[in-house]
A and B are shown apart, each in its own frame.
Chain A
Amino acid sequence: MNNQAIREPALVRWTLTILALAFLALFLALPLMAVLVEAFAKGWNAYLRALSTDVTLSSIRLTLIVAAISVPLNIAFGLSASWAIAKFDFGGKSLLISLIELPFSVSPVISGLIYVLLFGLQGLLGPWLVENDLRVIFAVPGIVLATIFVTFPFVARELIPLMEEQGREEEEAALTLGASGLRTFWLVTLPNVRWGLFYGVLLCNARAMGEFGAVSVVSGHIRGLTNTMPLHVEILYNEYDFVGAFAVASLLALLALVTLAAKTALEWWHRDELVATGH
């Protein structure tokens, strides 16, 4: 009886379910299918040929390099920032939190432009860089910088609420028992937040590989040199190479699916622990 009181009528339930499913189909499943259909429009061989051209391979290489540099840096940063914020008291804490979240609220185009204004030839540091023959924008370092900027909050954002919720009791206990600060971090704090950390890393990586706007501004779009995968998709599309464009897009979509699968698998393997820690 109680059950009936909290349940909506069948009609409402079904309508809502169908609406949700239709929404999912329209905005997620169909576009994903469209990508695959276009990618394989001329068959498996054309798909492989499109992926194995020099410029496409170099865009994949660049994307991997950018992610391999920016994700570890953001893990290190995210861990230290969230540890400091959640476990210690200091002045300017809320300012620091706002700063970390800044990249979320700033348009990616602006994120790219600040680097052009800073490192461009007409920018603040540009002339000095040119004199010393250092290239930042329109080269790999600029792309890495822009990517780090936009993926900055992902790890920290996952960890801060988690660490705050867990409080300081365990750390305080560890310290009373004679563990050093670093030891406490490694043995107590880190194991407690490992799932949050992993989730943050997955998100961070997905965004690092998929970022378009900020990278587009600092890339210079040199074929085979400074085009990441998302930029390369746009170029191929503009060159009427639809199989090529959607083949690369399908790789990016695959990355998203793998990310999702990894997250689900982890949650499943560790479901007992997750229940125990209240996740």
Chain B
Amino acid sequence: MIKSLWNDDIRQFFLAAAMAGLLAMGLATLIPGARAAETRTLLNVSYDPTRELYQAINDAFIKSWKARTGEDIKINQSHGGSGKQARSVIDGLEADVVTLALAYDIDAIADKAKLLDGTWQNHLGDNSAPYTSTIVFLVRKGNPRQIKDWDDLVKPGVSVITPNPKTSGGARWNYLAAWGHELNRTNGDQAKAEEFVAKLYKNVPVLDSGARGSTVTFAQRGLGDVLLAWENEAYLALQEFGDGFEIVTPSLSILAEPPVTVVDKVVDKRGTRALAEAYLKFLYTPEAQAIIARNFYRPRDPEAIKKTAATFKPIKLFTIDDVFGGWRKAQAEHFADGGVFDRISGRK
């Protein structure tokens, strides 16, 4: 009885399972791309719409570093909603440099994880923001809803696509731009501004976690009448999806300064400080500024700015420092738990 039950099946099964496991492992090691571990690497943890920008920047920097030092390096990228990315760094994602959507997310890394000191924003020129952008509207071809300015977004029946300000940096810029517009129109009436923004978010059917998710929702899935987008993201969408869309520049918008910085504790531990600093300084060189302009970010370099005059429409911009008293204040007031955004989204 016992003998007859012991057939070869079970032995075969384990043999087959072991073989499959070994095969998987073997295949895994055979697949090319397992580079020599000796190559030094940098990890750049960035926000959502910079994927194409940093692909181009990294290629250029790797070449320039090789020419300067003879060393081959590799730059790893991670992208996602800016707030979410900051959270990952706080939780231990070992970023040598962070290039996020707004200063507060880097402040959060300094405050909560103490990975860099609070004065980080003074370490590089232009508030540590080698490029700027602003918030514009992307609408469907022919602008069927006749969306011209911020006021058109709160009209009944207009469907607005914007990501979640809790996780996305771009979404927070969108929110503050709308607030600043209404504040400007009403000569500083905060209550009116809150009412305006609340009305706007009532027109939002879905809040994605990052700017790129919202762009895909709008452009690929065809939801919504208007996308509140980073200027660079809007131009990229035009380039990717071609004719179906057009950009509307509002009368007034916010100057977005996405900052970059070295994460002190990580680079000191990994011995990559010099490399990481060179990488960020490279962003300010004419070569990188030209790449920045090509990817539809607004460069800082006067020469590069001249060349973008044909692309970017002139737009009146206000800064977060002028209208909201800086990111820390804006974050605490509007986006922290129990802040204005929680209040108005609870009111839905």
Contact = CB atoms under 8 A, between A and B. Distances in A.
Contacts of B24: 64-65, 67-68
Interface stretch (B77-85, B130-138, B141-149, B337-345): B77-85
A13 interface: no
A220 interface: yes
Contacts of B5: 170, 187-188, 191-192
A44 to B, nearest CB: 21
A57 B93 CA distance: 23
B51 interface: yes
Contact of A60 (B31, B51, B76, B213): B31
A71 B16 CA distance: 13
Contact of A123 (B13, B48, B91): B91
A221 B2 contact: no
Contacts of A4: none
B76 A122 contact: no
A8 interface: no
A237 interface: yes
A152 B113 CA distance: 33
A65 B26 CA distance: 9
B161 interface: no
A130 B90 CA distance: 13
B212 interface: yes
A215 to B, nearest CB: 14
A194 B25 contact: no
Interface string B91-128: 11110000000000000000011000000000000000
B27 interface: yes
A194 B90 CA distance: 46
What's the dominant secondary structure at chain B's contact region? helix
B38 interface: no
What's the dominant secondary structure at chain A's contact region? helix
Interface stretch (A28-36, A83-91, A222-230): A222-230
B10 A194 contact: yes
A119 B92 CA distance: 9
A130 B2 contact: no
A197 B92 contact: no
B1 A222 contact: no
A239 interface: yes
Interface of B: 1-2, 5-7, 9-10, 13, 17, 21, 24-25, 27-29, 31-34, 43, 48, 51-52, 76-80, 88, 90-94, 112-113, 212-213, 216, 240-241
16 contacts: A57-B33, A61-B27, A61-B31, A61-B34, A62-B28, A72-B17, A121-B113, A126-B92, A138-B88, A138-B93, A138-B94, A179-B2, A188-B2, A198-B13, A220-B93, A224-B33
Interface of A: 54-55, 57-58, 60-62, 64-65, 67-68, 71-72, 75, 116, 119-123, 126, 130, 135, 137-138, 170, 173-174, 177, 179, 186-188, 190-192, 194, 197-198, 201, 220-225, 235, 237-240
